[in-house]
C-alpha cells in the first residue's frame, strides 16, 4: 500500500479543463450558522489556487454532516461558499443539485479561472450508496477529477471513490501533505515511540491499538476507553463508560503489550462525577476504586503527571482521543496536560482524530505539533495500515 506512487494533481493536465475538486468542507458550526473552525477549508486553498492559476474551471464538491435524505437548510454549504468566496475574492455560485438543467447550464458557461460549488453532495441519493449511475453523472460534469478530501478517503462514496474510474484522477495537495508526512514519520520513527490513545470507545480504536502495538515502545491509555481496561482488571468502574463485551479484548491488548515488550500505562487516578453533566459535583479517586454511582470523566492529577513524564522523553508521539470529556472545562485538564507535555517534549508528533485535533486547537498548542490530521476516521484507518478506498481508486504513476 503505497499511495505516494499514485497520480496527483501535479501529474494531470488541468489547464483550461473542467476540474471536479472533491474537498472536505465538513466543518463545525455554532448555533447561529457560523463556521467555528475553518481549518479544513483553509487547507484546501492550495489545490484550489493551483487550479485557478492554471485557468481550470473549478467545480467544488463536499459533504457536510449526515443529512437524512435530500435538502436540509442547516446542512447547506452556503456558509462555506460565502467564506471561500471572501478568502479567494471571487464569486462562487452554489449549485443546488447535480442533475438539473440549471446546474448543467452553469457548468457549461463556467469560464477558465472561475469556480462553482455543488450543494452538500450527501443531499443526493446515489452518493453514500456509491451508485454507479450517479458516479457517472458526476463524472460527466467534468474532464478531470481531483480528490483532496482526506477526511472522506476511508469511505467509498460516489464522489470519493466511485467517479475516479470514469475520469483522469489524482489527489490534491492536502492529501499529499497528510500521507507523505505520516509515511515519513511512521516508516522510521524516532524512538522512543509513544502512542497516547483515549476517546470514547475501545471498539472505535481497536484496529489502531493492535497495529500500534507492533510499532510503539510505550502505549498510554486514558479517556473513556480506559474504564473497559479497569473492568477487565477486576476494578469497579461505577457508572463510567464501559464496554462489557470488550473485556476480553482489553485483556488481550494487555497480554500482547507484555509479550511485545511495550510499556503500557493506564491511569492511576481519575476525576469522577455524579452525573454526565458539565457542572456535576466531582472528585478525584484512585483508578481501581471508582465508587458506585460515580463516573470517570477525566484522568486525575497523579495520572497527568505519570503520562506527562512518559511523554517528555518521547522521540515520536501519535495521539488519538482525548483523556476525558475535554469539551467541558471541568473535565479538560487531563487532555490539557497531555497536549502541553507533547508540545514541550520536542518530539515529532501526529495528532489524529477530530476531537483530539479540536482540543489541541482550542487549548492553543496547534503550532507546537508536527502534524495535525484533518481526517478523523481516515487518519485512524491510515495508522492501522488499512486501505483507504478513495485512494485505492486512483491509478499509480507509471
Per DSSP, which regions of 198-313 are E strands? 218-221, 263-265, 269-273, 282-286, 295-299
269 lies in the site for Mg ion, by CB under 5 A:
no
Which of 114, 143, 204, 275 binds ligand ADP (CB under 6 A)? It is 204
- The binder of 297, among ligand ADP, Mg ion, none, by C-beta within 5 to 8 A per type, is ligand ADP
Which of 322, 349, 378, 393 binds ligand ADP (CB under 6 A)? It is 322
Other Cβ atoms closer than 10 A to 261: 7
Least spacing, CB of residue 194 vs ligand ADP, in Å: 17
Q: Residue 61's beta-bridge partner residues?
A: 22
Active site residue 377: yes
Interaction residues for ligand ADP, span 21-80 (CB under 6 A):
none
CB-CB contact of 24 with 42 (8 Å): no
Query: What track of x and - describes contact with ligand ADP for positions 324 through 363 (by CB under 6 A)?
Result: xx-x-------------------------xxxx-------
223 lies in the site for Mg ion, by CB under 5 A:
no
| DSSP-based helix, strand, coil % in the chain, nearest 5 | 40, 20, 40
Which of 151, 168, 189, 224 binds ligand ADP (CB under 6 A)? It is 224
Strands 269-273 and 282-286: antiparallel
Please say which residue, 224 or 300, places its beta carbon nearer to ligand ADP.
224
Cell numbers placing 244: 462489557
Q: Which of 113, 207, 315, 377 is catalytic?
A: 377
Q: Residue 272's beta-bridge partner residues?
A: 283, 296
Active site residue 354: yes
Least spacing, CB of residue 359 vs ligand ADP, in Å: 8
Distance CA 167, CA 98 (A): 17
For residue 1, what are the CA distances in angstroms to 179, 373, 391?
A: 12, 19, 10
238 lies in the site for ligand ADP, by CB under 6 A:
no
Q: What end-to-end distance do the CA atoms of the chain give, in Å?
A: 16
Distance CA 72, CA 63 (A): 12
389 lies in the site for Mg ion, by CB under 5 A:
no
Which of 200, 213, 233, 268 binds ligand ADP (CB under 6 A)? It is 200
From the list 94, 139, 138, 97, the residue with the least C-alpha distance to 117 is 94
From the list 125, 116, 155, 113, the residue with the least C-alpha distance to 26 is 155
178 lies in the site for Mg ion, by CB under 5 A:
no
Query: What track of x and - describes contact with Mg ion for positions 297 through 336 (by CB under 5 A)?
Result: ----------------------------------------
**Residue-wise DSSP of 117-133:** EE--GGGSHHHHTT-HH
Q: What angle do CA 236, 242, 245 make, to 5 degrees?
A: 110
Active site residue 199: no
354 lies in the site for Mg ion, by CB under 5 A:
yes
- The binder of 200, among Mg ion, ligand ADP, none, by C-beta within 5 to 8 A per type, is ligand ADP
- The binder of 325, among Mg ion, ligand ADP, none, by C-beta within 5 to 8 A per type, is ligand ADP
Scanning 141-239, the segments in alpha helix (DSSP H) are 173-187, 202-213, 226-232
151 lies in the site for ligand ADP, by CB under 6 A:
no
Active site residue 376: no
Interaction residues for ligand ADP, span 363-392 (CB under 6 A):
376
Distance CA 160, CA 169 (A): 11
Residue whose C-beta lies closest to Mg ion:
355
Least spacing, CB of residue 306 vs ligand ADP, in Å: 17
241 lies in the site for ligand ADP, by CB under 6 A:
yes
Cell numbers placing 300: 486525575
144 lies in the site for ligand ADP, by CB under 6 A:
no
Contact positions toward Mg ion, by CB under 5 A? Answer: 354-355
Contact positions toward ligand ADP, by CB under 6 A? Answer: 199-200, 204, 223-224, 241, 296-297, 320-322, 324-325, 327, 353-356, 376
The residues carrying an active-site annotation are: 40, 201, 354, 377
Amino acid at each position: 500500500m503505497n499511495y505516494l506512487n499514485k497520480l496527483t494533481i501535479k501529474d494531470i493536465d488541468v489547464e483550461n479543463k473542467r476540474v471536479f475538486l472533491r474537498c472536505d468542507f465538513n466543518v463545525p458550526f455554532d448555533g447561529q450558522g457560523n463556521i467555528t473552525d475553518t481549518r479544513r477549508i483553509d487547507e484546501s486553498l492550495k489545490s484550489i489556487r493551483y487550479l485557478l492559476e492554471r485557468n481550470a474551471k473549478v467545480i467544488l464538491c463536499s459533504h457536510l454532516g449526515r443529512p437524512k435524505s435530500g435538502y436540509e437548510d442547516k446542512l447547506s454549504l452556503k456558509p462555506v461558499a460565502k467564506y471561500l468566496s471572501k478568502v479567494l475574492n471571487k464569486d462562487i455560485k452554489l449549485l443546488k443539485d447535480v442533475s438539473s438543467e440549471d446546474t448543467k447550464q452553469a457548468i457549461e458557461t463556467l469560464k477558465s479561472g472561475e469556480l462553482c460549488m455543488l450543494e452538500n453532495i450527501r443531499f443526493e441519493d446515489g452518493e453514500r450508496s456509491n451508485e454507479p449511475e450517479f458516479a457517472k453523472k458526476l463524472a460527466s460534469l467534468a474532464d478531470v477529477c481531483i480528490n483532496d478530501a482526506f477526511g472522506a478517503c476511508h469511505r467509498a462514496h460516489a464522489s470519493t471513490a466511485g467517479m475516479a474510474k470514469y475520469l483522469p484522477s489524482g489527489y490534491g495537495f492536502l492529501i499529499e501533505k497528510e500521507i507523505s508526512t505520516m509515511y515519513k514519520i511512521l516508516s522510521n520513527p524516532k524512538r522512543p515511540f509513544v502512542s497516547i490513545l483515549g476517546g470514547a470507545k475501545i471498539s472505535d480504536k481497536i484496529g489502531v491499538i493492535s497495529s500500534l502495538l507492533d510499532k510503539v515502545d510505550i502505549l498510554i491509555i486514558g479517556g473513556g476507553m480506559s474504564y473497559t481496561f479497569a473492568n477487565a482488571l477486576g476494578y469497579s468502574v461505577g457508572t463510567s463508560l464501559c464496554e462489557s463485551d470488550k473485556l476480553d479484548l482489553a485483556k488481550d491488548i494487555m497480554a500482547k503489550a507484555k509479550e511485545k515488550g511495550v510499556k503500557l500505562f493506564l491511569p492511576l487516578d481519575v476525576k469522577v462525577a455524579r452525573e454526565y453533566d458539565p457542572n456535576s459535583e466531582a472528585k478525584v479517586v484512585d483508578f481501581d476504586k471508582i465508587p458506585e454511582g460515580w463516573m470517570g470523566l477525566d484522568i486525575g492529577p497523579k495520572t497527568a503527571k505519570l503520562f506527562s513524564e512518559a511523554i517528555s522523553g518521547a522521540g515520536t508521539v501519535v495521539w488519538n482521543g482525548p483523556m476525558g470529556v475535554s469539551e467541558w472545562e471541568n473535565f479538560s485538564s487531563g487532555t490539557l496536560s497531555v497536549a502541553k507535555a507533547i508540545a514541550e517534549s520536542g518530539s515529532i508528533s501526529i495528532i489524529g482524530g477530530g476531537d483530539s485535533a479540536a482540543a489541541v486547537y482550542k487549548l492553543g498548542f496547534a503550532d507546537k505539533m508536527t502534524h495535525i490530521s484533518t481526517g478523523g476516521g481516515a487518519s485512524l484507518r491510515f495508522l492501522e495500515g488499512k486501505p483507504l478506498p478513495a485512494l485505492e481508486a486512483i491509478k499509480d504513476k507509471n
